[in-house]
Amino acid sequence: MKTSRVSLLTRILPCLFVAALWIPSPSRAQYLFVGNDYANANVVHKYDLTNGGAPILTITSGNPPEALLISGNNLFVANGYDNTVTEYNATSGALIQTFSTGMSGPYSLALSGNNLYVQNASNGTLTQYNVATGGAPVMTLSIPGQTAMLLSGNTLYVGTGVYGGGTVNEYDATTGALTRTISTGVNQPVALALSGNNLFVANYKNNNVTEYDATVGGEPILTISSGVFAPRTLVLSDNNLFVANYSVNGTVTEYDATTGGTPLATISSVMEPSAMALWGNELYVTNGATVTAYDTANGDAVVQTISSQVQGPITLAIAAPEPGPALLLTAGLGLLGGFRRRRA
């Protein structure tokens, strides 16, 4: 068994990480990528969601595939223990390039144009790379105790507070300059989501989700606590906020993102929901040794269950075929290593 690169608590936290949410037409074919990390599986499977069944592509990734990011026909994988980020052709699985300089426990990814941002758990840095040229980082920020990252335009939102407490810091993504710090109501901010100027923060230790005006920071403008416990990751769609509550007998709760209050709907008996991805009305959730899809417009009925060759799913990403745009919905969800099944 490998020794954790940092304490178990420092691997508790996902990144959430949806910089822009694009929901394609349900009539188009779509693909689901699943990162697996059970018994040293260390593979990424690609599934055709129109047919289900067995994977149509298997990529042997690094150890383990902590985060996935889809951009066009390119798949980026953060390999935590291997201290690398690998880029693959998402159709063939062919390796395109490997980033390693400056990395130490990479666990979360964000991309804007040719700018790839990587959070590193072991040395507390956030590194930026040019994917067109590869090589060494073009910028390195020292941000100890990082827990989450979200990229929107030229603003990087970074959560800190791996042992509790903490902040959400805003940085200029080009210069690395710190522009704002949000701390009121923040307590181990494990996931971030943004809609316009509304920033949602999942506070793992407070068992709530707080909302802020990202242009001013300050006090929360909304706090959601009903039905929230150990919130692990967030997904926003229009005015609907989905919260994955992490437990062996976990739930996914849905809220009106404007008013909060009690859940609009609750999906129960979800085993350790650590990652979510949304396609139209279908919400895909890691559920123990499977990935389950729920119809959010039809009482959260189960649409399909993906189980073929799924082994400890920790990360999900959904993509449309070219020439349409692709969507990054989850990244950095491998940080709850201390709570996952112990690796064989």
Euclidean distance between CA atoms 285 and 272, whole angstroms: 10
Question: How much is the pTM?
Answer: 0.86
Q: What's residue 40's pLDDT?
A: 66
pLDDT at site 299: 81
| Residue 160, number of CB atoms within 10 A of its CB | 22
- For the segment 50-62, what is each residue's pLDDT rounded down to a tens digit? 887 899 999 999 9
Residue 17 pLDDT > 50: no
> Rounded CA gap, 211 and 186, in Å?
10
Amino acid identity of 309? Q
Share of the chain above pLDDT 90, in %: 76
CA angle 277, 280, 283 (to 5 degrees): 35
Q: Is the dihedral of CA 99, 337, 307, 292 positive or negative?
A: negative
Closest CA to 307 of 325, 290, 331: 290
Please state, rounded to an integer, the average pLDDT across all residues of the chain. Answer: 86
Q: Is 215 exposed, middle or buried (0-12, 13-18, 19+ CB in 10 A)?
A: exposed
pLDDT digits over 260-294, tens only? 999 999 999 999 999 999 988 999 999 999 999 99
Instruction: Tell me the average pLDDT across 155-164.
Output: 94
Domains of the chain: 8-229+312-335 (2.130.10.10)
Residue located via tokens 């650590």:
274
**343 vs 44: which has the higher pLDDT:** 44
Sheet of strand 43-48: strand arrangement: 57-60, 43-48, 31-36, 313-319
